[in-house]
Structure 1
Amino acid sequence: MSRVCELTGKGRQVGNNVSHANNKTKRTFLPNLQNVTLISDSLERSVKLRVSTHGLRSVEHVGGLDNWLKKTSDDKLSPKVRKLKREIGKKQAAQPAA
């Protein structure tokens, strides 16, 4: 399982450990990923995702999963979440007509 946020695309970064003697050794900085269950209002069901804490705060700030997916471009999203975004779009397009 890759260590990438399914919503924001945030992944690992590479940097250096720097000692007191100024020796540099490579290291990785991993995102703080959490397994969460988010609720889609339009689909009326819950979805399990692996999301960074930054991404989770962003979803809450915007007002929920549906609003977040509406404003986010597809290139950042994982294939699972892209499919979810299409389902939500279809459902929202069908609701005003019915």
Structure 2
Amino acid sequence: MSRICELTGKGRQVGNNVSHANNKTKRVFLPNLQNVTLMSEKLDRSFKFRVSTQGLRSVEHNGGLDNWLLKTGDDKLSANALKVKRELKKANAASA
């Protein structure tokens, strides 16, 4: 299972450990991923995602899962999130 946020696309970053003697060795910064269940108000269902804590705050700040998925580009979303986004678009088209 890869260390990538399903909603924001945030993944690992590479940097250096720097010692007191200024020796540099490679290291990896991993995102803080959590398994969460988010509720879609439009579909009246809940979905499980593996989301970074920063991504979770962003989703809540932008008005919930439905608004986030509709505003976010497809290249950042996982296959699971894209499936939910297609269902949302279908539900919006049916209600309009």
TM-score with structure 2 setting the length = 0.98
Matching of residue 64 in structure 1 with residue 64 in structure 2? yes
Question: Alpha carbon RMSD of aligned pairs, Å?
Answer: 0.6
Q: Per the alignment, in what secondary structure is the counterpart of residue 87 of structure 2?
A: helix
* Unmatched segments (≥5 aa) in structure 1: none
Aligned to 1:53: 53
Give the SS at the match of 1:60. Answer: helix
Aligned length: 96
| Identity score, percent | 76
Q: Does 2:26 correspond to 1:26?
A: yes
State the TM-score, normalized to the length of structure 1. 0.96
Unaligned runs of 5+ in 2: none
- Shift in Å at residue 38 of structure 1? 0.1
Please state which structure has a larger fraction of its residues in helix. 1
